[in-house]
Structure 1
Amino acid sequence: MTERKRLLQLALPAMAENILQMLMGMVDTYLVAQISLITVSGVSVANNILTIYQAVFIALGASAASLIAKSLGQKDSRQTERLIWDTLVMTLVLSGILGIFSILCGRWLLALLGTELTVSQTGGLYLAIVGGGIGFLGLMTTLGSILRAKGKPNLSMKVSLIANILNAIISALAVFVFHWGMVGVAAATVFSRLVGCLILWRALALDVKSVTLTRPFNKDLCSLVLPAAGERLMMRAGDVVIVAIIVRFGTEVVAGNAIGETLTQFNYMPGMGVATATVISIAHSLGSGDFQTTQRLAREAYWLSLWMMLPIGLLTFAFGGGLTHLYTDNSGAVAASMVVLLYSFIGTPVTAGTLVYTAVWQGLGQAKLPFYATTFGMWVIRIFLGYILGISFNLGLAGVWIATVVDNLFRTIFLYIRYKLFFKNDLFQS
């Protein structure tokens, strides 16, 4: 099997699953947009917090998939079973902490970001409901990652499809028939994820009576999860600060930026799918000791990601005006959305590089380097430069997105250079 086929076999179902997950958020955004601009602004800000949670679970799932794939490559079934249970326990602990935080501190956190009172109240309630049930998203992410690592990527994709259909139906009924508003949309999201968890759990067929855990904790898993989760956390926490900058431009710009980001999520889906496949494929080849295949996989992953992302980004930008009008007719919000679509397309080559080479390092079991790169890129380049360009130089939302492209350019170059040096020196000296 060629490297491209191997990547596509894992990437296409992962891509479809990511698209379906994003569709759930897109459906929620569309439905709450029918209620009011304040509601869509509150939900969009709350979703930036929820995206941080999701990023942590994605990092956990990717790290676990990497270690599981490596143990499968080494044909160590006992270690594989132990890793699965360790990951599930870690998911439940994280879910509990994040859920309690969402319920108790959600409204306060949104107010801290500088949103208007009505926006923080609406978003805080949405965060309490969806964030309170975040454990179902966490389990769906973890169980899906385990299935992909075990060579069953299609199953997780099918469950995501079921959950999305269920969410769309119940959310639409909640808004248009029962008039439950934003609360009904949030409750539908939590319920559909619960159903998805139950199906995935049953499909994985784990025997609870034979639980094997690493005591006091799995050091290998933590050494990979913590920097990987830290990388995602720095990224998403930085996004929240970026939103705090965008809030200064007004509610219309906040709403337009949220709509634009909702639409451009489809641009990133191929890259995210290939990144998921890259982590698993590289970890498996590394476990088998096939270093030449590892290098070919990394090279193929970048070009595959880029050529899949470019046409989607172009289509999204070309039809962006019409798509944005599905959410709102507000001229300020539409203009802001088009700014997001433009710079998302321009930055496609470096976004693909950031996604793929972050995944390469995680597959190699070296998650600290992407953490350092993201922390510096986000908090020194993107936030600082975004503030300077957006506010000091009066470029507004365009300034923030120029800084985003520059950040991704830095991280792509840095991670690629270190990757070349790793295979030239570090790997063969270890």
Structure 2
Amino acid sequence: MNEGRTFVSALSFSIPMKQIKEILNIALPAMAENFLQMLMGIVDNYLVAQLGILAISGVSVANNIITVYQAIFIALGAAVTSVVSKSFGEKDASALKNHARQAISVTIILSLVLGLFSLICGNKILTLLGTETKVSAIGGLYLAIVGGGIVSLGLMTTLGSLLRAIGKVRFPMYVSLLSNFLNAVLSALAVFVLGWGVLGVASATVISRLLGTVILMKRLELKPHHFLPQFQIDKDLIQIAFPAALERLMMRAGDIVIIAIIVKFGTKIVAGNAIGEVLTQFNYMPGFGVATASVMLTAYYFGQGNPAEIKKSVQSTYYISVLLMGLVSCSAFLLGHPLGSLFTADKNVLAASQTVLLFSFLGTPVSAGTLIYTAAWQGLGKARLPFYATTIGMWLIRIVLGYFLAVHFHLSLAGVWLATLADNAFRHLFLYSLYKRYLNDLFSTASSREDEKN
């Protein structure tokens, strides 16, 4: 108990209250927005489940592809936050406007490509994934509508990032809340009153996001001509967005391989792992919110040429994310059995889910470190390093080590999650050590400039 008090006291002492408020002012709305996006998926899945097994199977498979799209737009959103926050810190209004226009243009072009892919190839992709003909037809319809209208999700993400970067951190959260409420009402109306089934649920998702996009447009005072595609290349934006998107895709691809390893241990282990991951996604929500603050503050102070504030903000966001993530992951672990019982009564499945919850809790410090130092590097405009770290960590540590621990050393699911912990530990240390060296260089540069002035 004394150790816990000491930790909290040290945290309070090392982070000024003003800075805590500054970080939480950005992080809490971002957390709420992440939760609302998750809630939209939960509402859709619940309503689709009322239509039968074929419907939920088709939509579930289609959503795996939509999740990849979402990961790409989140990476683009991080890049937008970084470059716009940096221009905001530099007080460069011209660069800020240019980055905003280019961000919107890249979002629209990317959305058109992904939308056409969904419309033309969606059904074929689901068939290639091994789904039954009827499941592919239902999933293909959902993917054609939600994927074909993916511009609504892309623009909501990018416009929300623009608003956060200029200090309007709460408005995107309010828009997400309205969008979720509208989606729930329209989806329920489509399923229970109009009988439109999957078509209605998918259409409601796109319509609610389009309304959110219009509201964000008006808040940013954007005109129709701002949405005309521009084929100029914003190097600053692309240098962050492209590696960040690749890093997210590398994680997604690696997750598929990890599932292939877990499948070897039987259906009950797979089910337990799935339940555990459903519960642990809440563990990361505070970390993602605080990481958003880390990107913004790092880029802002980098634009001001202030390495001392960069150091303080990154250190503070790390401590806060460890504390918040630790509280959530500890609660999830302690409540794991009753929460897991909501999904199943099978003891073997529940035991497997507890394994996931345990390792997620134990890995909190390194998971937080991976999130925060990835965000810091994105804020510094150098997103390649997190991409390298994720590629090495996922494919050489998590997958290779996980396979040997789980299969050859017979550790089963525990072996996979030991390797996951090792992967996060590697990425945390790798990104932190290089960040520390880079920060020292920034201090040296700032000191030299001061000497020249004097």
Q: TM-score, normalised by structure 2?
A: 0.84
1:321 to 1:387, Cα distance in 2 relative to 1, 3 A: same
Q: 1:159 aligns with which of 164, 167, 175?
A: 175
1:38 to 1:398, Cα distance in 2 relative to 1, 3 A: farther
1:87 maps to which residue? 103
2:91 maps to which residue? 75
Q: Is the 8 A contact 2:101 2:226 kept in 1?
A: no
- Counterpart check, 1:320 vs 2:336: yes
Q: 1:195 aligns with which of 198, 211, 216?
A: 211
Matches within 5 A, 1:267-286: 267-286=283-302
- Per the TM alignment, residue 60 of structure 1 is displaced from its structure 2 partner at its CA by 0.9
Indicate the larger mover: 42-51 or 135-144. 42-51
2:392 maps to which residue? 376
Deviations 1:107-145 (A, max 9, x none): 444454566777666544443332222221111110100
Q: 2:423 aligns with which of 394, 407, 423?
A: 407
- Counterpart check, 1:206 vs 2:260: no
2:253 maps to which residue? 237
AA aligned opposite 1:143: L
- Per the TM alignment, residue 77 of structure 1 is displaced from its structure 2 partner at its CA by 0.8
Q: In 2, Cα distance between the equivalents of 1:404 and 1:422?
A: 27
3-state SS of paired residue (1:216): coil
Q: In 2, Cα distance between the equivalents of 1:192 and 1:211?
A: 19
1:56 maps to which residue? 72
AA aligned opposite 2:431: L
Deviations 1:393-414 (A, max 9, x none): 5554444333322211111111
- Per the TM alignment, residue 257 of structure 1 is displaced from its structure 2 partner at its CA by 4.1
Matches within 5 A, 1:12-23: 12-23=28-39
Matches within 5 A, 1:257-296: 257-296=273-312
Deviations 1:23-58 (A, max 9, x none): 112223344445556655554444333222111111
- Per the TM alignment, residue 263 of structure 1 is displaced from its structure 2 partner at its CA by 2.8
3-state SS of paired residue (1:2): helix
Q: In 2, Cα distance between the equivalents of 1:86 and 1:353?
A: 31
1:113 to 1:190, Cα distance in 2 relative to 1, 3 A: same
Q: In 2, Cα distance between the equivalents of 1:343 and 1:179?
A: 44
Indicate the larger mover: 107-116 or 77-86. 107-116
1:316 to 1:32, Cα distance in 2 relative to 1, 3 A: farther
Q: 1:346 aligns with which of 356, 359, 362?
A: 362
Matches within 5 A, 1:101-120: 101-113=117-129
Q: Is the 8 A contact 2:105 2:227 kept in 1?
A: no
Q: In 1, Cα distance between the equivalents of 2:387 and 2:275?
A: 28
Q: Is the 8 A contact 1:44 1:255 kept in 2?
A: no
AA aligned opposite 2:373: Y
1:185 maps to which residue? 201
1:205 to 1:329, Cα distance in 2 relative to 1, 3 A: farther
| Bigger relative CO (Cα 8 Å, ≥ 6 apart) | 1
Q: 1:148 aligns with which of 158, 164, 168?
A: 164
Q: Is the 8 A contact 2:106 2:229 kept in 1?
A: no
- Equivalenced residue count is 430
Structure 2 residue runs without a partner (length 5+): 1-16, 447-454
- Counterpart check, 1:98 vs 2:98: no
2:13 maps to which residue? none
- Counterpart check, 1:227 vs 2:243: yes
AA aligned opposite 2:180: N
Indicate the larger mover: 223-232 or 179-188. 179-188
Q: In 2, Cα distance between the equivalents of 1:394 and 1:176?
A: 49
Q: In 1, Cα distance between the equivalents of 2:113 and 2:131?
A: 25
Q: Is the 8 A contact 2:115 2:147 kept in 1?
A: yes
Q: In 1, Cα distance between the equivalents of 2:409 and 2:123?
A: 32
AA aligned opposite 1:303: Y
1:167 to 1:85, Cα distance in 2 relative to 1, 3 A: same
1:233 to 1:328, Cα distance in 2 relative to 1, 3 A: same
1:345 to 1:139, Cα distance in 2 relative to 1, 3 A: same
3-state SS of paired residue (1:153): coil
Indicate the RMSD between aligned Cα atoms, in angstroms.
Answer: 3.0
- Per the TM alignment, residue 219 of structure 1 is displaced from its structure 2 partner at its CA by 1.4
Structure 1 residue runs without a partner (length 5+): none
AA aligned opposite 2:44: D
Q: In 2, Cα distance between the equivalents of 1:147 and 1:24?
A: 22
1:112 to 1:209, Cα distance in 2 relative to 1, 3 A: closer
Quick one: percent identity of the two aligned structures? Answer: 56
Indicate the larger mover: 408-417 or 343-352. 343-352
Q: In 2, Cα distance between the equivalents of 1:207 and 1:226?
A: 27
Q: In 2, Cα distance between the equivalents of 1:281 and 1:262?
A: 30
Q: In 1, Cα distance between the equivalents of 2:424 and 2:61?
A: 23
- Per the TM alignment, residue 214 of structure 1 is displaced from its structure 2 partner at its CA by 7.1
Q: Is the 8 A contact 1:39 1:119 kept in 2?
A: yes
AA aligned opposite 2:81: A
Q: 2:321 aligns with which of 302, 305, 311?
A: 305
AA aligned opposite 1:153: V
Q: In 1, Cα distance between the equivalents of 2:360 and 2:116?
A: 34
1:346 to 1:173, Cα distance in 2 relative to 1, 3 A: farther
Q: In 2, Cα distance between the equivalents of 1:211 and 1:175?
A: 34
Matches within 5 A, 1:329-368: 336-368=352-384
Q: In 2, Cα distance between the equivalents of 1:48 and 1:156?
A: 25
